[in-house]
Amino acid sequence: MDFYLMSMRKIIDGRVKLYIAIIIILIALNIPYTTKDTFTEKEFYKEQEPYNLTQTYYEKEPYIDNVPLKINTTLDWYITDYRYKDEFNLIATLRNIDNISGEFWVTFHVESTNGSFDFTTESIFLMPGEIHQFEHGFTGLFSYVTYKVKQPTREVEKFRDIPEERTITSYRDIEKSREAVRVKKNTLSLLQRILKYPPNYEPDPPVQAPPANVYDDWEQ
Protein backbone atom coordinates (compact mmCIF):
# COMPACT_ATOMS: atom_id res chain seq x y z
CA MET A 1 0.00 0.00 0.00
CA ASP A 2 2.73 2.42 0.87
CA PHE A 3 4.55 1.49 -2.26
CA TYR A 4 1.47 2.25 -4.35
CA LEU A 5 1.00 5.62 -2.74
CA MET A 6 4.60 6.54 -3.29
CA SER A 7 4.35 5.55 -6.96
CA MET A 8 1.21 7.65 -7.48
CA ARG A 9 2.84 10.60 -5.78
CA LYS A 10 5.86 10.33 -8.06
CA ILE A 11 3.61 10.19 -11.11
CA ILE A 12 1.63 13.24 -9.96
CA ASP A 13 4.78 15.16 -9.12
CA GLY A 14 6.21 14.33 -12.52
CA ARG A 15 3.07 15.54 -14.28
CA VAL A 16 3.00 18.72 -12.25
CA LYS A 17 6.62 19.41 -13.14
CA LEU A 18 5.83 18.69 -16.80
CA TYR A 19 2.86 21.06 -16.76
CA ILE A 20 4.94 23.74 -15.06
CA ALA A 21 7.69 23.27 -17.64
CA ILE A 22 5.17 23.52 -20.48
CA ILE A 23 3.68 26.69 -18.98
CA ILE A 24 7.15 28.23 -18.58
CA ILE A 25 8.05 27.31 -22.15
CA LEU A 26 4.78 28.81 -23.48
CA ILE A 27 5.37 31.98 -21.48
CA ALA A 28 8.92 32.16 -22.76
CA LEU A 29 7.78 31.62 -26.35
CA ASN A 30 5.36 34.56 -26.08
CA ILE A 31 7.73 37.04 -24.45
CA PRO A 32 8.52 39.67 -27.12
CA TYR A 33 12.10 40.74 -27.66
CA THR A 34 13.72 43.19 -30.04
CA THR A 35 16.23 42.50 -32.78
CA LYS A 36 17.82 44.84 -35.32
CA ASP A 37 17.01 44.05 -38.94
CA THR A 38 19.28 45.42 -41.66
CA PHE A 39 18.01 45.98 -45.20
CA THR A 40 18.60 48.23 -48.20
CA GLU A 41 16.17 50.54 -49.92
CA LYS A 42 16.31 53.13 -52.69
CA GLU A 43 16.80 56.63 -51.34
CA PHE A 44 16.01 59.74 -53.37
CA TYR A 45 17.91 62.98 -52.85
CA LYS A 46 18.62 66.23 -54.64
CA GLU A 47 22.00 67.47 -55.75
CA GLN A 48 23.03 70.89 -57.01
CA GLU A 49 24.29 70.76 -60.59
CA PRO A 50 26.03 73.75 -62.20
CA TYR A 51 25.14 74.85 -65.72
CA ASN A 52 25.84 77.82 -67.97
CA LEU A 53 23.10 80.39 -68.36
CA THR A 54 22.98 83.24 -70.87
CA GLN A 55 21.80 86.35 -69.08
CA THR A 56 20.62 89.54 -70.73
CA TYR A 57 21.45 92.83 -69.07
CA TYR A 58 21.34 96.46 -70.15
CA GLU A 59 24.06 99.06 -70.36
CA LYS A 60 23.32 102.77 -70.43
CA GLU A 61 24.65 104.34 -73.65
CA PRO A 62 24.80 108.13 -73.99
CA TYR A 63 23.72 109.87 -77.18
CA ILE A 64 23.01 113.41 -78.34
CA ASP A 65 19.47 114.41 -79.28
CA ASN A 66 18.36 117.70 -80.80
CA VAL A 67 15.43 118.82 -78.68
CA PRO A 68 13.27 121.80 -79.72
CA LEU A 69 13.29 124.67 -77.29
CA LYS A 70 9.98 125.03 -75.49
CA ILE A 71 9.12 128.39 -76.98
CA ASN A 72 5.47 129.35 -77.44
CA THR A 73 4.43 131.19 -80.59
CA THR A 74 1.23 132.23 -82.33
CA LEU A 75 0.68 132.56 -86.08
CA ASP A 76 -2.11 134.65 -87.60
CA TRP A 77 -2.56 134.67 -91.35
CA TYR A 78 -4.98 136.00 -93.94
CA ILE A 79 -5.39 136.04 -97.71
CA THR A 80 -5.38 139.04 -100.02
CA ASP A 81 -7.15 137.71 -103.11
CA TYR A 82 -6.68 139.54 -106.42
CA ARG A 83 -9.17 137.67 -108.59
CA TYR A 84 -8.81 140.02 -111.49
CA LYS A 85 -5.07 139.22 -111.57
CA ASP A 86 -5.61 135.49 -110.84
CA GLU A 87 -3.26 135.68 -107.85
CA PHE A 88 -3.32 136.10 -104.07
CA ASN A 89 -0.98 137.00 -101.21
CA LEU A 90 -0.50 134.97 -98.02
CA ILE A 91 0.35 137.17 -95.05
CA ALA A 92 1.38 135.45 -91.75
CA THR A 93 2.21 137.20 -88.48
CA LEU A 94 4.43 135.27 -86.05
CA ARG A 95 4.62 136.33 -82.39
CA ASN A 96 7.03 135.02 -79.74
CA ILE A 97 4.84 134.83 -76.62
CA ASP A 98 7.47 133.12 -74.47
CA ASN A 99 10.20 134.61 -72.30
CA ILE A 100 12.98 132.97 -74.34
CA SER A 101 14.51 134.37 -77.52
CA GLY A 102 14.95 132.13 -80.53
CA GLU A 103 15.24 131.79 -84.29
CA PHE A 104 12.07 130.77 -86.16
CA TRP A 105 10.86 130.04 -89.67
CA VAL A 106 7.60 128.83 -91.17
CA THR A 107 6.90 126.20 -93.83
CA PHE A 108 3.65 126.58 -95.82
CA HIS A 109 1.85 124.16 -98.07
CA VAL A 110 -0.52 126.10 -100.31
CA GLU A 111 -2.97 124.85 -102.92
CA SER A 112 -4.57 127.01 -105.59
CA THR A 113 -6.24 126.61 -108.95
CA ASN A 114 -2.76 126.62 -110.49
CA GLY A 115 -1.46 123.70 -108.36
CA SER A 116 0.23 123.23 -105.00
CA PHE A 117 3.21 125.09 -103.59
CA ASP A 118 5.60 124.46 -100.69
CA PHE A 119 7.18 127.60 -99.36
CA THR A 120 9.64 128.11 -96.48
CA THR A 121 10.22 131.57 -95.08
CA GLU A 122 13.57 132.94 -94.15
CA SER A 123 14.59 132.46 -90.54
CA ILE A 124 13.98 135.32 -88.18
CA PHE A 125 15.29 135.94 -84.66
CA LEU A 126 12.56 137.00 -82.26
CA MET A 127 12.95 138.39 -78.80
CA PRO A 128 10.25 137.65 -76.19
CA GLY A 129 7.05 139.43 -77.25
CA GLU A 130 8.49 140.45 -80.66
CA ILE A 131 6.40 140.14 -83.86
CA HIS A 132 7.41 139.48 -87.46
CA GLN A 133 5.24 139.38 -90.57
CA PHE A 134 5.80 137.11 -93.56
CA GLU A 135 4.20 137.79 -96.95
CA HIS A 136 4.33 135.75 -100.13
CA GLY A 137 2.39 135.82 -103.37
CA PHE A 138 0.94 132.86 -105.29
CA THR A 139 -0.74 132.53 -108.67
CA GLY A 140 -4.25 131.19 -109.15
CA LEU A 141 -7.24 131.28 -106.84
CA PHE A 142 -6.72 130.22 -103.21
CA SER A 143 -7.95 126.73 -102.21
CA TYR A 144 -6.11 125.43 -99.14
CA VAL A 145 -3.17 126.17 -96.82
CA THR A 146 -1.34 124.41 -93.97
CA TYR A 147 1.74 125.55 -92.09
CA LYS A 148 4.32 124.47 -89.55
CA VAL A 149 6.35 126.75 -87.31
CA LYS A 150 9.92 125.57 -86.92
CA GLN A 151 11.96 126.66 -83.94
CA PRO A 152 15.54 126.22 -82.69
CA THR A 153 16.82 123.11 -81.04
CA ARG A 154 19.51 122.41 -78.51
CA GLU A 155 21.72 119.41 -78.02
CA VAL A 156 20.74 117.30 -75.01
CA GLU A 157 22.62 114.27 -73.76
CA LYS A 158 20.27 111.34 -73.25
CA PHE A 159 20.74 107.70 -72.36
CA ARG A 160 19.29 104.57 -73.91
CA ASP A 161 19.37 100.95 -72.82
CA ILE A 162 21.57 98.71 -74.94
CA PRO A 163 21.00 94.96 -74.41
CA GLU A 164 24.11 92.92 -73.72
CA GLU A 165 24.61 89.23 -72.98
CA ARG A 166 26.89 87.40 -70.59
CA THR A 167 27.34 83.81 -69.52
CA ILE A 168 26.94 83.06 -65.82
CA THR A 169 27.09 79.87 -63.80
CA SER A 170 23.79 78.93 -62.22
CA TYR A 171 22.65 75.88 -60.28
CA ARG A 172 19.64 73.58 -60.53
CA ASP A 173 18.34 70.70 -58.43
CA ILE A 174 18.83 67.24 -59.95
CA GLU A 175 16.98 64.32 -58.37
CA LYS A 176 19.13 61.23 -57.91
CA SER A 177 18.80 57.87 -56.16
CA ARG A 178 21.09 55.52 -54.28
CA GLU A 179 20.93 52.31 -52.27
CA ALA A 180 20.87 53.14 -48.57
CA VAL A 181 21.33 50.73 -45.66
CA ARG A 182 18.56 50.95 -43.09
CA VAL A 183 18.37 49.44 -39.61
CA LYS A 184 14.99 48.97 -37.92
CA LYS A 185 14.04 47.48 -34.60
CA ASN A 186 11.77 44.41 -34.92
CA THR A 187 9.85 43.41 -31.78
CA LEU A 188 8.32 39.90 -31.92
CA SER A 189 8.13 36.91 -29.66
CA LEU A 190 9.92 33.65 -30.47
CA LEU A 191 6.61 31.97 -31.24
CA GLN A 192 5.68 34.76 -33.68
CA ARG A 193 9.02 34.37 -35.39
CA ILE A 194 8.55 30.60 -35.68
CA LEU A 195 5.08 31.14 -37.14
CA LYS A 196 6.54 33.65 -39.69
CA TYR A 197 4.65 36.69 -38.46
CA PRO A 198 5.34 39.90 -40.43
CA PRO A 199 7.92 42.20 -38.89
CA ASN A 200 6.72 44.55 -36.20
CA TYR A 201 8.98 47.53 -36.80
CA GLU A 202 9.05 50.54 -34.58
CA PRO A 203 7.31 53.49 -36.29
CA ASP A 204 9.54 56.17 -37.76
CA PRO A 205 9.71 59.35 -35.69
CA PRO A 206 7.29 62.04 -36.92
CA VAL A 207 8.71 64.71 -39.18
CA GLN A 208 8.87 67.94 -37.26
CA ALA A 209 7.71 71.09 -38.98
CA PRO A 210 10.39 73.76 -39.37
CA PRO A 211 10.18 76.49 -36.75
CA ALA A 212 8.09 79.45 -37.79
CA ASN A 213 9.86 82.72 -38.38
CA VAL A 214 9.44 84.98 -35.42
CA TYR A 215 9.40 88.69 -36.20
CA ASP A 216 9.96 91.34 -33.64
CA ASP A 217 7.34 94.00 -34.23
CA TRP A 218 9.50 96.46 -32.37
CA GLU A 219 12.47 95.93 -34.63
CA GLN A 220 12.71 98.57 -37.30
Name the residue among 148, 150, 91, 96 with its Cα closest to residue 126. 96
Q: Is 94 exposed, middle or buried (0-12, 13-18, 19+ CB in 10 A)?
A: buried
> Which are the contacts of 190, defined by CB distance < 8 A and separation ≥ 6?
28, 29, 30, 31, 33
Average pLDDT of the chain, as a whole number: 79
For residue 167, what pLDDT is reported? 92
Per-residue pLDDT tens digits for 62-116 = 999 887 766 666 666 667 766 677 788 888 888 888 777 888 888 888 888 888 8
Per-residue pLDDT tens digits for 115-140 = 888 888 888 888 888 888 888 888 88
Q: Confidence band (pLDDT; 50, 70, 90) for 59?
A: very high
Rounded to 10 degrees, what is the CA torsion of 188, 192, 193, 195?
Answer: -160
**Domains detected in the chain:** 2-52+174-194 (no CATH), 70-151 (2.60.40.1470)
Q: Between 53 and 82, where is the model more confident?
A: 53
Residue type, 24: I
Name the residue among 179, 178, 174 with its Cα closest to residue 47. 174
Name the residue among 63, 52, 61, 51 with its Cα closest to residue 164. 61
> Which are the contacts of 177, defined by CB distance < 8 A and separation ≥ 6?
42, 43, 44, 45
Mean pLDDT on 20-33: 80
Going along 83-130, which residue ranges are E strands? 87-96, 102-112, 115-120, 124-126
Q: Between 187 and 13, where is the model more confident?
A: 187
Mean pLDDT on 159-180: 90
CB atoms within 10 A of CB 90: 20
